[in-house]
Structure 1
Amino acid sequence: MQTFLHRKFKLNFNRLINSNHLLIAISGGQDSICLIKLLNDYLQRKSIKKIEAIYIDHQWKKDSQQHAKHLINIMKNSLIPLTIYQIKDTVFSEAEARQLRYKILVKHARIKKYNTIITGHNQNDCIETLINNLLRGTSLNGITNLTSKKQICNKILLVRPLINFTRPEITWFCRQFCLPIWSDKTNYNHNVTRNKLRNELIPYLENQFNPNLQYNLCKFLELCQDDNEYIKENTIKLYIKSRHRYLISLNLNLLKKQHVILQRRVLQLFFHYNFNQNISNKILKTIIMLENHNNFNKYTIFANNLIIEYTDGWIYTNFSYKYQNNK
């Protein structure tokens, strides 16, 4: 039986995915089970050369082994083979766990030569990420981080084909097809910030302020994503124009003619691209102040194991001697 979610998924898949080598990251929750069902139904009509599902078990829960067996049983009836990674090292935070999962996913994708990783993130995940990042204090780039398509490293694309599916739609789909959903008790642990947002804050805001809260926030996110993409495009153009032809250096005389937002974005791109470093706003403000101050011809800044030298309108950057010796 074909539902409206099958049609929505088909449109998303054809729009977002242009690959025959797919790695599916699953968690075992209803989003993952819904994704697997939709993929199985779609793959019966479309030829995919290579596809695999991957589950990463942190072994935090007492029933972790039972959960893994549950997934194995589900995938036996699927067209998609399953690989399970079990992590024995303790991970102390949600952010560290997420970072570790992505490292494993990318490494596995590189070894098996997958160029597209698919996850089951949905519209509600976008809303929760938006609110969570706003509470922490973030930028336009931060609140639009959970997009439908993202290049996470060289030749590997991260795609979220359920990004415009709401959680109630996914719940309805799983019930419609009697899909075996594993109830994860950790989703009700309110020591986890995301669970408090999902189970307490968002329902409270909907009940007390606006029942259309999530719909309106999604529209807000769409506008922010358009704005952010425009800024990104202009950032890349300005970075290419202002970088040195041969040295790891940036022409600040060209940057200072642009808006401060573009100046900051170009500097962030410069340090991330050349040194894989996220420089603090304090250091960025110092550099921007130098480029707009006529009394400074030379200046040296030490930050993140980097030596940043400002000389006659250019910044030259390298790793510090101590960092190089440690390597």
Structure 2
Amino acid sequence: MTTTYLHDKFISIILKCQQLSKPISILIALSGGKDSLCLIKLVEDFNNLYNYFHKIEYIYIDHQWRNDSRKHIKHLLNYTNTTSNNTYVYQIHMIHMSESTIRRIRYQIIIQHAIKNKTQIIFTGHNETDQLETFLLNLVRGTGLEGLSSLPLIRQIKHYIQIIRPLIKMNTGDILWFCHKFNLPLWSDKTNFYYSNCRNRIRYELLPYLKAYFCPKTEYNIINFLNLSSIENEYIKQNAIKLYITSRHSYYIAINYKFIKDQHLALKRRTLYLFFYYNFNKYLNNNISNQLLEYMYIKHQRKARIIWEQLRITIYKNWIYVQ
């Protein structure tokens, strides 16, 4: 078997994931592009060498946005059938939805499939260039530190399921070289060149412009920034979790803010976000967050209520609770 520096990088990334203990079953989420083909090749070569995964499955979600989607599925299946592993195809029939909605539905389908089949690990084909594009998209949309590091190497989904992105340290140019070297059957997707798609405009217009007119090392500098941000974000996240566990009520949906009011503003805000996301699956906006923080410092406080997205939030006697 011919090996490359991408094989070595892939092996290094997998072995760094210390949570991976044999036997492991993995589900590989495919998009059908060069990243997917590269990931299939790397996984199959790795497993032939180390016999690390006792079960490998592939999953593809067809959005039905393109009129050649059936041909694309057939093309992808022709390649995955060269392996001895099963491939599952799901179709989304409601095609008139936003890209963010489709992405959320796609993840739900993949995770539910993993739960049903008792799969421990989900692999996705996100690469370093995807990380750059996601950063720029989230930045212009007004994200915080958590959103800037939204494509980590490992993310815990359920108590026994993890999403791992083994290509996240590999850029698009290296992946394309890899596919050509091994003559992988690339499918030309014309939607990748539609400039109505924000991600395509970042890829083909914004990033080249920044490199040409501001800094040739733009991509390297952004990745370095994201790596540093990820470390700092993880530190804040872990401390916010500890603070949330300390301040939450044992029985009711409530937190005692006397435990958090004297903490750093970053921890206070993150603890409030965690409270609402964990209990209601809602992202707390800045306006409500600022109101809650202001109420913490009002002396001789009267009972106050805030109505937000059908939630009745009450602040009284050191407690924030929701009815």
Short-chain TM bin:
over 0.9
| Candidates 268, 277, 285, aligned match of 2:273 | 268
| Candidates 24, 27, 34, aligned match of 2:31 | 27
Query: What is the identity, as a one-letter code, of the residue corresponding to 2:124?
Result: T
Matched, 1:92 2:103: no
Please give the alpha-carbon distance, in whole angstroms, between the structure 1 residues aligned to 2:255 and 2:97. 39
**Identical counterparts, % of pairs:** 44
Query: What is the identity, as a one-letter code, of the residue corresponding to 2:36?
Result: S
Query: What is the identity, as a one-letter code, of the residue corresponding to 1:314?
Result: W
> More displaced, 176-185 or 296-305?
296-305
| Candidates 1, 18, 21, aligned match of 2:20 | 18
Please list every run of 5 or more consecutive structure 2 residues that lacks an aligned counterpart in the other structure. Answer: none
Per-residue deviation, 1:297: 2.9
SS of residue matched to 1:23:
strand
Please give the alpha-carbon distance, in whole angstroms, between the structure 1 residues aligned to 2:228 and 2:9. 21
Per-residue deviation, 1:91: 3.7
What is aligned with 2:10? 9
**TM-score normalized by the length of structure 1:** 0.95
Please give the alpha-carbon distance, in whole angstroms, between the structure 1 residues aligned to 2:120 and 2:86. 17
> More displaced, 82-91 or 11-20?
11-20
What is aligned with 1:57? 62
**What does 1:153-302 correspond to in 2, within 5 Å?**
153-302=158-307
What is aligned with 1:138? 143
Please give the alpha-carbon distance, in whole angstroms, between the structure 2 residues aligned to 1:79 and 1:128. 34
Assess if the C-alpha contact under 8 Å between 1:40 and 1:79 holds in 2. Answer: no
Per-residue deviation, 1:115: 1.7
SS of residue matched to 1:41:
helix
Please give the alpha-carbon distance, in whole angstroms, between the structure 1 residues aligned to 2:112 and 2:159. 12
What is aligned with 2:127? 122
1:134-170 Cα offsets, whole Å, 9 max, x none, are 1111100011111100012342211000100011110
Query: What is the identity, as a one-letter code, of the residue corresponding to 2:48?
Result: Q
Query: What is the identity, as a one-letter code, of the residue corresponding to 1:75?
Result: T
Please give the alpha-carbon distance, in whole angstroms, between the structure 2 residues aligned to 1:236 and 1:49. 34
What is aligned with 2:46? 42
What is aligned with 1:312? 317
Please give the alpha-carbon distance, in whole angstroms, between the structure 1 residues aligned to 2:103 and 2:221. 28
Per-residue deviation, 1:246: 2.6
Per-residue deviation, 1:244: 1.8
Please give the alpha-carbon distance, in whole angstroms, between the structure 1 residues aligned to 2:59 and 2:74. 14
Note closer, same or farther for the CA distance 1:40–1:33 as it changes in structure 2 (3 Å cut). Answer: same
What root-mean-square deviation, in Å, do the aligned CA atoms of Structure 1 and Structure 2 show?
Answer: 1.2
> More displaced, 43-52 or 169-178?
43-52
1:77-112 Cα offsets, whole Å, 9 max, x none, are 123321111222124211011011001001111111
Please give the alpha-carbon distance, in whole angstroms, between the structure 1 residues aligned to 2:251 and 2:30. 44
| Candidates 105, 108, 125, aligned match of 1:103 | 108
SS of residue matched to 2:50:
coil
1:267-316 Cα offsets, whole Å, 9 max, x none, are 11111112222222111111100001214231111112211111111112
Please give the alpha-carbon distance, in whole angstroms, between the structure 2 residues aligned to 1:62 and 1:215. 37
Please give the alpha-carbon distance, in whole angstroms, between the structure 1 residues aligned to 2:62 and 2:189. 13
Note closer, same or farther for the CA distance 1:245–1:86 as it changes in structure 2 (3 Å cut). Answer: closer
SS of residue matched to 2:42:
helix
Please give the alpha-carbon distance, in whole angstroms, between the structure 1 residues aligned to 2:178 and 2:160. 33
Per-residue deviation, 1:230: 0.6
Per-residue deviation, 1:118: 0.4
SS of residue matched to 1:216:
helix
Please list every run of 5 or more consecutive structure 1 residues that lacks an aligned counterpart in the other structure. Answer: 319-327
Assess if the C-alpha contact under 8 Å between 1:124 and 1:167 holds in 2. Answer: yes
Please give the alpha-carbon distance, in whole angstroms, between the structure 1 residues aligned to 2:95 and 2:116. 25
